[in-house]
Amino acid sequence: MSAHIIVGAEVASEIRAALKEEVEQLKEQGIHPGLAVILIGDDPASHSYVKGKEKACHEIGIYSEVIRHDASITQEELLRMIEEYNQNPNIHGILVQLPLPKHISEKAVIDAISPEKDVDGFTPVNVGNMLIGNDCYLPCTPHGIIELIKRSGQPIEGKHAVVIGRSNIVGKPVAMLLLQENATVTVAHSRTKDLASITRQADILVVAVGRAEMINAEHVKVGAVVIDVGVNRNEAGKLVGDVHFDSVKEVASYLTPVPRGVGPMTITMLMKNTVDAAKKAARVAQEK
């Protein structure tokens, strides 16, 4: 068997083309979606992701403001900056790139973002709404993963989904979204005993552990759908996922590559959330 490769970059391009058309139409109605991206510090990967977000905004026609600040900023200054964007009517989405420098509390920063502008879907209000299945901004990577599985044509309902990883950004929310799609969900993590015996039960395996090529064919059931969320450098300096691509592709039925798999969907779902936020703000203004 050789798995079908789910090229997230191609799916992302399709969604971005549709968003571009939608934004053109919104602008004709006087709605101009706007996103503020705040990047603190000098982490090279974060700088590259933020550049990707800026470029995607430009391509789709979303107005963007990108604030790059060195790590000398205080938490209070950052919170003030967020509050200004909360009040700014030209900005519909606010994103603070993670991780933050150690002296700044991630929790305090996320809590400061108005839930209506939380296009990352990280605030407690949006997380709570996601949990109970209310309309809300879904976190971008988990939402992108669900979209990739759905567009591959593979059913989620009734399947056993195993998620490896329990981060707030990926593991926990993707487990919740799979549950909402009626999968039976198991969450495994660094303290899980006999990981392979659990992952081998998975019809859908989502891997978000942050360890280069840790999951190999021994961990995967024949015919499973395998989604690789990792972005790592291997010993040779090559960009690889958490999944050993060459061995797993011989066992899985569907597999996402790294790069060009889940990653491009993260930025694309952010664009979608920003457009949705602008539409919601326009509706609210009209109702007043």
Ligand X SMILES: Nc1nc2c(c(=O)[nH]1)N[C@@H](CN(C=O)c1ccc(C(=O)N[C@@H](CCC(=O)O)C(=O)O)cc1)CN2
Q: Which residues carry out catalysis?
A: 53, 97, 120
Structure tokens at 16: 């971005």
Whole-number Å distance between alpha carbons of 121 and 115: 8
Residue type, 243: V
Min dist CB 257 to ligand X, Å, is: 8
Q: Is 167 annotated as a binding residue?
A: yes
Q: Is 52 annotated as a binding residue?
A: no
Contact code string over 125-164 relative to ligand X, x by CB under 6 A? ---------------xx-----------------------
| Residue in 64, 123, 126, 266 binding ligand X, rule: CB under 6 A | 266
Residues 237-256 contacting ligand X, CB under 6 A: 239
Q: What per-residue string of b and e applies to 186-213 under the rule 16 or more CB within 10 Å gives b?
A: bbbeeeeeebeebbbebbbbbbbbeebb
* Residue 218: DSSP 8-state: G
Residues 38-67 contacting ligand X, CB under 6 A: 48-49, 52
Q: Is 166 annotated as a binding residue?
A: yes
Q: Is 64 annotated as a binding residue?
A: no
Distances (CA, A) of 96 to 85, 90, 136, 152: 11, 17, 18, 31
Min dist CB 23 to ligand X, Å, is: 20
Contact criterion met (CB below 8 Å) for 267 and 56: yes
Segment interacting with ligand X, rule: CB under 6 A, options 193-201, 205-213, 262-270, 277-285: 262-270
Other Cβ atoms closer than 10 A to 275: 25
Contact positions toward ligand X, by CB under 6 A? Answer: 48-49, 52, 95-98, 120, 140-141, 169, 231, 239, 258-261, 263-264, 266-267
